[in-house]
Amino acid sequence: MINFQYVQATDVADAVRQTDGDPRARFVAGGTNLIDLMKMEVEQPTRVIDITRLPLRQVEPTPSGGLRIGALVPNTDLAYHPLVEERYPVLSSAIMAGASQQLRNMASTGGNLLQRTRCAYFYDVATPCNKRTPGTGCSAIEGLNRGHAILGTSQACIAVHPSDMCVAMMMLDATVHVTGPTGDRVVPFADFHRLPGDAPQRDTNLNPGEIITAVELPPKGFASHHTYLKIRDRLSYAFALVAIAAGLDLDGDTIKEGRFALGGIAHKPWRDPKAEAVLRGQPANAATFTRAADVLLRDARGYKYNTFKIDLARRCIVRALGQAARATPQSQSHKKIA
């Protein structure tokens, strides 16, 4: 690990100030991803700013009926928070589908958003990777790409975003609250993460020196009809091949509003308004769900080892929307898929 200067931030303004315009400064909270990457020397910060003492650990109802989640709330605390379990159970479920309890105890809400891809080439400093070292090429496009993206890829990068939590937040229309050198701003979740394009080194639209202070959920939580379904190579403690967060607002058997976001298939949590429009006003059945899946996957493209994800994603969408319609959300401990 490359040596670095360690400093502790006393408040949010101090944290921003401590970055001092240095693009190689990094905030550390849970550390579960950053420190791993620092050991591999994928991340080589010159300055590490410890933000664990900042007062960003509250989960509070908002005046508009939503929920404001402090950036330092640990994943476990968020998943087990009574208001989240009651009003946003899909978020609890998504969090519990990811990582292990030890990691969830450490990992912060803001850090979860800033997780970097688990592409093996990104981690292996001996191989070319445009995300790690821009301009060197993508080893995955012609390499072992079984876990890689099928939507939103570019010639420069086919990596996927690894988070489960973010998939549920995307479905829930969350907003990301940030503070930076020029003040505060609110970023819609859909605009927070980026597609790789020709700059895959940039995972998010955060500007230099900006820090996430909170994630806010709007009132609508789809608590009656939701699911988080995650398909992976083993039943626990593995990244998704395909994951989906789904929520339905039903009037009898008719869909008033349906939403679904997918993980494991793109550089960001993937949601498609055109696919959701297919659901509106339609009967909640497999035929409707299949049509919506086909729309979402219309531009999907497989590579040598991951073409199976297109069909897997289609089946996951149909299965998950069915779980949501039947109000039988996927359990994250009893693994049988209903």
User: Among 62, 101, 182, 224, which residue sits at the site for other proteins (rule: CB under 8 A)?
Assistant: 101
The DSSP code sequence of 218-242 is -S----SSEEEEEE-SSSSSS--SE
Three-class DSSP category at 291: helix
Is 333 near other proteins (CB under 8 A)? yes
Min separation Cβ 65 and other proteins, Å: 28
Nearer to other proteins, 323 or 332 (CB): 332
Q: Is the dihedral of CA 47, 101, 192, 10 positive or negative?
A: negative
Stretch that binds other proteins, among 96-104, 264-272, 280-288, 294-302 (CB under 8 A): 96-104
Transcribe 84-112 into DSSP letters: HHHH-HHHHHHHHTSS-HHHHHH-BHHHH
Considering only the stretches 186-194, 273-281, 285-293, 326-334, report the one whose residues sit in contact with other proteins under the rule CB under 8 A.
326-334
Beta bridge partner(s), residue 215? 69, 176
Q: Please give the structure tokens belonging to residue 81.
A: 């928070």
Q: Number of residues in contact with other proteins, rule: CB under 8 A?
A: 33
DSSP β-bridge partners for residue 259: 247
Compute the radius of gyration of the chain from its Cα atoms: 19
**Whose structure tokens read 């900006």?**
210
Question: Any contact of residue 32 with other proteins (CB under 8 A)?
Answer: yes
Task: Give the x-and-dash track for 8-27 against other proteins (CB under 8 A).
Answer: x-------------------
Residue for token pair 């299965």: 319
Stretch that binds other proteins, among 97-105, 168-176, 182-190, 285-293 (CB under 8 A): 97-105
82 near other proteins, judged by CB under 8 A = no
11, 46, 53, 185: residue in contact with other proteins (rule CB under 8 A): 53
Q: How far is Cα 310 from Cα 227, in angstroms, rounded to an integer?
A: 20
Residues between 220 and 239 with contacts to other proteins, criterion CB under 8 A = 236-237
Identify any residues that bridge with 271 across adjacent strands, giving them in sequence order. 261
Site for other proteins, rule CB under 8 A: 1, 3-8, 28, 30-32, 35-36, 39, 48, 50, 52-53, 76, 80, 99-103, 105-106, 236-237, 332-335
